[in-house]
Amino acid sequence: CEQCSELPPKLARTVELLRERGAPVRLGSLDGETHATLATEFDVSHYPDFLLFDPGSRAKPRHYHAQREAEALAKWATRRAGPPAVTVATTAEAQAFVDSDSLVLLGFFKDTESRDLKTFLEIADTYDEVPFGVTSSEEVFAKYGVSTDSIVLFKKFDEGQKSFTPIDLNFRHGIKSHTAVVHGCECLCGCTVQTFPLLFSGLVNVHILLFANASSEGFPELFEQFKAAAPPFRGKILFVLLNSAVPENDNVLDLFELTDGARLPAIRLVKVNKDMVKHVPSFSDFTTANITSFCQDYLDEHNKPFSKSQEIPKDWNKRPVKVLVGKNFDEFVFDETKNVFVEFYASWCDHCKKLAPVWEQLGVQYKDHDNIVIAKMDAEKNEVAAVHIPGYPKIKYFPAGPGKKVRSSSS
């Protein structure tokens, strides 16, 4: 695992940070392939994986899903080794807590035995993205002008502070969705390793992305036009800036086929789910009015999805294994007279490379068959709305007949 091989210096630095902060956490490592029984017991499905165990217990360890950097690892482990919410007893402690992060959630509860407080702490114990604090101090209530039990979101952007009551939120669901994402993200959020987990949390799953070089001459005006369109869509569409000059964003640029800098700036709207349905604007003048109309048309279901496709090769159907792309997939595969067996592959995938000669051999075996066709498609460079490809290689069989239904295999 390439990512695993990059970890040792980061883990060494994590140990130093934990020691500096006096965190009661010890760090160890385990080879999951050598100790496969333990990996199964603790539900390790990918590598690297990080688990935090409560003292003396091997039951239900916490899995860490955020960035694999020393500071982030140490911060998470330190927080999770302590109580689910920081107790705030004085105004000085309150100010220190509010200043501790760009986004914090402070629960104000007069009754320390209340059911709402218990629910608040249960949620805090399961939610990693935002630090939680709790207070019953009258002076802290007074400092922030709170008179009844409330949850207050403090943030270093937009309006700075947003208050909710448990009833306002539909409490348990509301803290996670409405509070942390709808009001916990800036109207316009930058895509960075720090914000990535929040962006793709699934709580606001429609994003409009501006791809631009933040150092370019025309960027300030472009940014203001984009930002001005954001407020009316809070909670419906998340506005995201992706700086094309940052190397860490190359993978996202590649996903949207925007690695050619000549095509920037660009705007894409995407629904973040298993299908990643994309929408491309017809305009190139990125004004607030145009962007607003584009977003509203999406919400009103007036926009047509965009699917990327390579050009159809001239000899695509003259080989034993037919070569499919986005532009010819539906017409060929959903022909009711044919049984079509398709391999969806990625050029970089080692498993796909091993399968390639086998698939070619299968194509030769069936090249003269009347109604069985063997085909393949580069699923990274071509998209098909009717087919979801979670990993590579993916093999799907499309049997002949009316109302064709897909049968899948990943074995």
How many other CB atoms are there within 10 angstroms of residue 411's CB atom?
Answer: 4
Q: What would the 3-class secondary structure string for 276-311 be? A: CEEECCCCCCCCHHHHHHHHHHHHCCCCCCECCCCC
Phi then psi dihedrals of residue 289, to 5 deg? -65, -45
Cα distances (angstroms) measured from residue 61 to each of 30, 89, 190, 201, 344: 15, 30, 32, 21, 36
Going by the DSSP 8-state scheme, the letter that residue 262 receives in this structure is G
Residue ranges of E strands in 294-385: 321-324, 339-345, 372-378
Residues catalogued as catalytic: 1, 4, 349, 352
- Helices within 50-179 (DSSP H only): 70-81, 91-98, 115-124, 138-143, 166-169, 171-174
**Token digits of residue 407:** 């049968």
Residue type, 115: R
Question: What is the Cα–Cα distance from 130 to 109, expressed in whole angstroms?
Answer: 19
Residues 63-74: b if buried by 16+ CB within 10 A, e if exposed: ebebebebebbb
Residues 343-381: b if buried by 16+ CB within 10 A, e if exposed: bbbbeebeebeebbeebeebbeebeeeeebbbbbbbbbe
Question: What is the Cα–Cα distance from 334 to 12, expressed in whole angstroms?
Answer: 54
CB 23 within 8 A of CB 52: no
Which residue matches tokens 């630095």? 13
Cα atoms in the 13 Å half-sphere on the side-chain side of 193:
13
Cα distances (angstroms) measured from residue 349 to each of 240, 258, 321, 343, 345: 30, 22, 19, 13, 7
